[in-house]
Amino acid sequence: MTTGFESADIDHGAASSPDMSEQPPRSGGSGRLGPTGLARIISAGEVVGLYALCIVAALLLSALIVQLTGGDSLAVFSALLDGSIRGPGRIGETLGVMGPLLIVALGAIISNRAGLVNIGQEGQLFIGAAFATYVGTRIGGPGPVVILALLVSSAIGGALWAGIAAALKYRRNVPEVLTTLLLVTVAAQLAGYGLKNQWLLLAPPEGRANRQQISQQLDPDSRIPLVTMFGNQFPISVFFALGGAALVAFLLARTVWGFRLRALGHNERTAQRAGVAASRYGAGALLLGGGFAGLAGGIMLAGGDFGNYTLVPGFPAEIGWTGLLVALVGRQRVFATIIVAFIFAGLRTGSGFVAATGVERRITDVVQGLLVLALLIPPALLFLRQRRRAMAARESRT
């Protein structure tokens, strides 16, 4: 066995783990076979070209759907841009949506790094928001204390919810992908139950319609403060989300903890032999993932971009699902994830403006879906080609 062989084998362990990240397409596989110089530049150009081609195809297809149903596709795209970035104050709205999306995605990145498939962010987020509502409307005290308490409790709520999945995985060997998915529905039903009972989350009868399921509104001084920059108003939590992204990127790439997490994600058995306790690090990663999703729920509640500072059934508004998608489309890399989160948030805020063009606003979901599918194709193609080359190289050597 040559050294090239061995380095290829390390790659294998990486991509065959249940880690949801496909390996980034490193051109040429093992270093020995990798193209250099000019070839590398050509291959980089190829990658960019492939991405551009797929994105253009997705946009053209969306335009075609609009045109076929008698709409004006240019007007729709222009309305999308107006609603997400060009209109006055719209960037602020988009940032307000980006914050929670990014936080959910960061949590997903952490769990995925450890090779865990947590797909229950939607439920963890709802439980977090419910905890935040309970704490935020019950405890008194100065504003900042209440805000801090409700955010901390939202993170604890989300972590506890993910903790059920972690406990079942490491105590009873139940796959976390199943439990996290099941717990999404249970979370929605628990929150619905809380919103029917006044001793839990339901607002007192005065100030709401009969049988309406709505929580009490957060007091004005226990809401996340808004900042105004260049005519854009957004909750200050956006900065914390970005700071959190930098912190997560640093922790994953530059600390022993991050290294152990990655080792666990690449090959659990090897990591165990090297002294990384799967149950401790894995459970920790799941709890953190849930905690981030829960925190996103707390921020959605106290930031005001969702539900007007109240909790209602259906509160998560698919931010949990979309946040997971953001992490996966961003291919688990923090910087790419920030950009993807902003684009997805823009599609959401832009959709409100699409209705004015006479085209049903749900077209933005179509645009988003087609874009994601388009973004999945280039890395998959490149990865497969790299695999084929590596296999061919291995066969020619043996």
3-class DSSP state of 35 = coil
Q: What tokens were used for 13? A: 């362990």
Pick from 259, 380, 385, 397 the residue near another protein by CB under 8 A: 380
Pick from 163, 240, 277, 360 the residue near another protein by CB under 8 A: 360
The reply to whether 366 sits near another protein by the rule CB under 8 A is yes
Contact between 84 and 226 (Cβ < 8 Å): no
* Residue in 297, 312, 128 with CA at minimum distance from that of residue 203: 312
Sign of CA dihedral 371, 374, 379, 380: positive
Closest CB to another protein among 301 and 329?
Answer: 329
Q: What tokens were used for 386? A: 């790299």
**Segment near another protein (CB under 8 A), from 40-48, 96-104, 284-292, 354-362?**
354-362
Q: How far is the CB of 43 from another protein (least distance, A)?
A: 19
The reply to whether 387 sits near another protein by the rule CB under 8 A is yes
Q: Please, which of residues 200-229 interact with another protein by CB under 8 A? A: none
Q: What is the rounded distance in angstroms from the CA atom of residue 180 to the CA atom of residue 119?
A: 6
CA distance from start to end of the chain:
9
Q: What is the rounded distance in angstroms from the CA atom of residue 195 to the CA atom of residue 150?
A: 18
Contact between 118 and 162 (Cβ < 8 Å): yes
The reply to whether 132 sits near another protein by the rule CB under 8 A is no
The reply to whether 117 sits near another protein by the rule CB under 8 A is yes
Pick from 192, 200, 258, 277 the residue near another protein by CB under 8 A: 192
**Segment near another protein (CB under 8 A), from 65-73, 98-106, 198-206, 214-222?**
65-73
Q: What tokens were used for 229? A: 């920059």
Q: Which residues pair with 234 in a beta bridge?
A: 227
Strands of 208-356, DSSP E: 226-229, 232-235
Pick from 12, 86, 208, 333 the residue near another protein by CB under 8 A: 12
Q: Which residues pair with 224 in a beta bridge?
A: none
The reply to whether 370 sits near another protein by the rule CB under 8 A is yes
Closest CB to another protein among 252 and 371?
Answer: 371
Catalog residues that contact another protein under the rule CB under 8 A.
Answer: 12-13, 15-16, 18, 20, 22, 65, 69-70, 117, 119, 164, 168, 171-175, 177-179, 181-186, 189-190, 192-193, 196, 318, 321-322, 324-325, 328-329, 359-360, 362-366, 368-370, 372-373, 376-377, 380-381, 383-384, 387, 390-391, 394
